[in-house]
Amino acid sequence: MSFHKQPKDDTQHQNHLDGAVKILTSDLQEEASRSGLDNHFQRWIEDLKDVNNPELHQIVTDMQALKAHFGGGTIDKNLVAQLLSRLGTNTSKAAVFADNPNTAERVANLGEALSAAAKQVQSPQSSAEQDLSQDSASR
């Protein structure tokens, strides 16, 4: 008996895209410590490979690097920011490859979330207390 992998439909891809955006727009430090993050990365990589488009190769490669990095324990913020930034740019460009307009919109949203996450990792926002103390110190 052989098992054939059933192709995912657009709804499943859209759910994965929505899940990725949710992770990226939440506290990335907290998300990195959760055990399910690896599964999210893997689903995303599989979705990209299912498209079978050579134009998406760099995204797959960067996703694999990001997954490996998060699985390694210590997080290099500069590397993560670089990968997220490149993923954001390339994902936004990849939205044109989606056949379904709903999927294309979600891919574009994901590209924006990746770019925003890269900025968040590179220069995390300070707390209101830190901002106030810096303002006071500069007077």
Q: What is the pLDDT of residues 5-24, one digit of tens each?
A: 545 667 887 887 887 788 77
87 inside domain: yes
Largest CA distance in the chain: 76
Domain that holds residue 87: 12-122
pTM attached to this predicted model: 0.75
88 inside domain: yes
130 inside domain: no
Q: Indicate if the pLDDT at residue 127 is higher than 80.
A: no
19 inside domain: yes
18 inside domain: yes
Q: Indicate if the pLDDT at residue 139 is higher than 60.
A: no
127 inside domain: no
pLDDT, position 114: 92
Q: What is the distance between the alpha carbons of residues 31 and 24, in angstroms, rounded to a whole number?
A: 8
User: How many domains are contained in the chain?
Assistant: 1
94 inside domain: yes
Q: What is the pLDDT of residues 66-98, one digit of tens each?
A: 888 877 777 788 998 999 999 999 999 999 988
134 inside domain: no
